[in-house]
Amino acid sequence: MRISRLLVGLLFWLTSITAFAAIHSSPVLTNAEKLLETSPAQSLEVSNRFLAQRRLTTGANRSHVNNDTDRSIRTPLHTVYAYLISARAYAYLDQPIEAKAALQKAYQVVDEYDLKHVQVQVLLTEASLTWHLDRDSTRALATLDAAQKAIEALPENSLNGQASRFKSALLRANILAATADSETALVAYENARSQLSRDPQDLRDKVEFQLSLGGFLLDQKQHESALTELLSAFWIASENEYTALIAGANMKLAKLYNQQGVLNQALEHANQAAAFFEHFSLSRRLSASQRLLATIYEQQARYNFALVHYFNALEIEQALGRLQPLAQVHLAIARTYYQLEHFPLSDRYIQDALRLVGSLPNSPLTTQAMLLQGRIHLALSQPKQAEKEIRTALERAEVEKDRKTMTMAHHALSKALESQGKYQAALMMQRDYEKLRAQQTQSEQQQQADTFKQQQRVVERQLQMDELQRQLDSAHQEQLHLQKVNYFLLGSLGVLVAIVYLRHRAAVMRQGELEELRDDFYTHPRTGLRNLRMLNAKLPRSLEKSNANFEQWYLNDMIHQPLSDRLRFAMFDVAFLKALFLRLGYQRAQDIERQLGDYLSERVTQSGRLYHFADTLFIYIETNWDQDTQPDALAHFVQSLIADFVSHYQSSQPQTVSAGDQPPTLTPQVAIGLAEYPFLPRAYTSINDQELIEILLTATHQASDLAQQTGESHWVHFSAINTAPAASFVNTNLRHACLKGIDSGLVKVKSSANDLLNWQKDHESDKKPSSIIDDQSNKSV
């Protein structure tokens, strides 16, 4: 006896719509939803009590609140989910009117409070109720289309969006499995598979999908594929303790093993399902499991055991008052008594079944009952009555296109005609029976061939899997070996990196120390300017390079005179630094010197270089100077540097100070000695760096004497005439050579104090002094 398709569909529905309201956070509603699987009546009681005992809040800010801290109120969101749970519970309890009323109330709350984000759950629940209560596939699919549009309107990161897509796709696949061709249904199931969650912790949806697909494949007689899906669902549900889904998997596996003739396995799974349904008092599912157990025992010819389970199912169905299942049980009991040759009892239960199906128009149970009644009359040697009843059953079976019943009717009618001596008619019926039987056998053989092919593919896949496993093991061993090598190389690389890092760090530290030492070595400790060591290191190389360029020009290797290698030197003595430490002390004097060094560094451009030669002496070197530029321009530049610093420092001091802390008075007085390189126009290499500094010191000394006499800044410029011989300046004291050259007219002197310093002048070409020099500079000392 087959289980009611409606009951199986209801089982699919109850497992597939679980957790529609998973996003609500009310513990009461969560508990009510869990009870749907085991005790729908208690779930209905909890949800109705939630609606009755709590006051619906109407606050504007609480329409979308999702917490349950205040147990005296319920938000609109919780109200909607409570109505949805009630609707599903009513549907399971075969109360369609109440279920639809609860669903309508949910719609009213959604419309009143504009809860668009829960409209998807309401639409999915409506589609489920429409299909499983009314069997209206057209309206159910239309509702699913509306739900799909609502799902697409959800944000991409919606927590319930993915679950809703899967539930919608699975329900659509279940509907198409019952109403469309197998190819369309398989496409729908594959679409549902693509919507499964990828979270390895969330396997409930996968189990529900495999149960639905396995049930569809079982109806299509694709037993191998169905077994794969159902066994996978069974073990996943067992590992995760999905008790209700385990019971559903047991029912389907029992049905599959029963069809395949593996009756012991079928009994084991059916008994496990029946134990679960009995434990939770799930009468409808318990009745289905009892009928399945009775069917299995009936196939084993254990008719007494079958009758026990049939009577258990009869007692449950009488309490439930469902007509069609009750008629099915009566007919199954009648068939069992027929096998036991208790024909009066069998006929009595047939009459009870016909009386029950009388209110069920066009029920196939009527055809089966009339055929069984005809066979009873045939067994009781009443062939005429049997012929009449069997012919009626045959006509109904042909209308219903029930090939199994048609085959049995032809066989029984052939025997009835033979019993009446109508051998020709009996022979025709027997031929029709043989024809139908041959078609049925052919169909079974085709199914067996398909099963064999599936088994062959399974074996081939298993062999391939074994080979792949062997290759995988080999690859795994090789991977372990490579892993060890990689770990060794990685460790070695780590050591090398550590060594390189440490050496780099040490090199950076040494470089930093070297830079500090270089700064200390080549930088004046007080002003921070380049010191005498730097001058001694840089100046000889610079003069050597300039000498080489001038020699190339002199030897005609260069066309133009290398003006870029001309250097102008200014050594200046800053007067206020001489007694600065004695007057102000170490700290303040050092601070002023550091400020002076920073200020001079900022003012000196890239074309010039500044060195702190001695305590109060500085050397400024200017490159790429114009030959026509008068020396007083460079002197004025140096004077402006010192004067600007003094002005800047005085302005930066506070205006109001105590009597014992008066700001120091700095004088901008400076003595400047000037000279150019090359000093001798026709003997570029005759004067080296030390001799050039000697010339600058001589000029600066004269300027310093002038500054002491007048108390003002002065400058003195020395330059050799174009025809000055190199012999006058080689291998002699350069200071005396300069003074002697001045006396003899070989060295020209320009000064800012012509009335105080007079030098003999023999060359009329120098009659045009600088703007500060007057005609008195032509007199001798």
pLDDT tens, residue by residue, 586-611 = 899 999 999 999 999 888 876 788 99
Residue 188 confidence (pLDDT) above 80: yes
CA–CA gap between residue 333 and residue 336 (Å, rounded): 5
Residue 449 confidence (pLDDT) above 90: no
The per-residue pLDDT for 679 is: 83
Contact between residue 42 and residue 282 where contact means Cβ atoms under 8 Å apart: no
Residue 21 confidence (pLDDT) above 70: no
Percent of the chain with pLDDT over 70: 85
The per-residue pLDDT for 618 is: 95
| Cα separations in angstroms, 707 against 701, 717, 726 | 10, 15, 32
pLDDT band for 438, please (50, 70, 90 cuts): confident
Least confident range from 62-71, 490-499, 597-606: namely: 62-71
The structure tokens listed for 478 are 């090789």
> In this predicted model, which residue has the larger pLDDT, 179 or 566?
179
Domains in the chain, CATH or no CATH each: 1-170 (1.25.40), 532-651+664-778 (3.30.70.270)
CA–CA gap between residue 392 and residue 746 (Å, rounded): 153
pLDDT tens, residue by residue, 712-745 = 999 999 988 888 887 788 778 888 888 888 888 8
Residue 632 φ/ψ, nearest 5 degrees:
-65, -20
The structure tokens listed for 706 are 């002038």
CA–CA gap between residue 474 and residue 468 (Å, rounded): 10
Residue 157 confidence (pLDDT) above 70: no
| Cα separations in angstroms, 464 against 17, 156, 460, 471 | 39, 41, 6, 10
* Most confident residue range from 298-307, 316-325, 742-751: 298-307
User: Around Cβ 707, how many Cβ atoms within 10 Å?
Assistant: 22
The helix-helix angle for 96-113 and 119-134 (nearest 10°) equals 160
Residue 311 confidence (pLDDT) above 90: yes
Average pLDDT score over residue span 742-758: 79
Specify the 3-state DSSP secondary structure of 722. Answer: coil
pLDDT tens, residue by residue, 634-669 = 899 999 999 999 998 888 877 655 555 566 778 899
Residue 255 confidence (pLDDT) above 80: yes
Residue 281 confidence (pLDDT) above 90: no
User: Which residue do the tokens 């939803």 mark?
Assistant: 33
pLDDT tens, residue by residue, 394-434 = 988 888 888 888 989 889 888 988 888 888 988 998 898 88
The per-residue pLDDT for 555 is: 53
The structure tokens listed for 432 are 């029709």
Residue 230 confidence (pLDDT) above 80: yes
pLDDT band for 201, please (50, 70, 90 cuts): low
pLDDT tens, residue by residue, 359-401 = 777 788 889 999 999 999 988 889 899 899 999 989 888 888 8
Residue 547 confidence (pLDDT) above 70: no
Q: Which strand (E) or helix (H) includes residue 190? A: helix 182-194
Average pLDDT score over residue span 619-636: 81
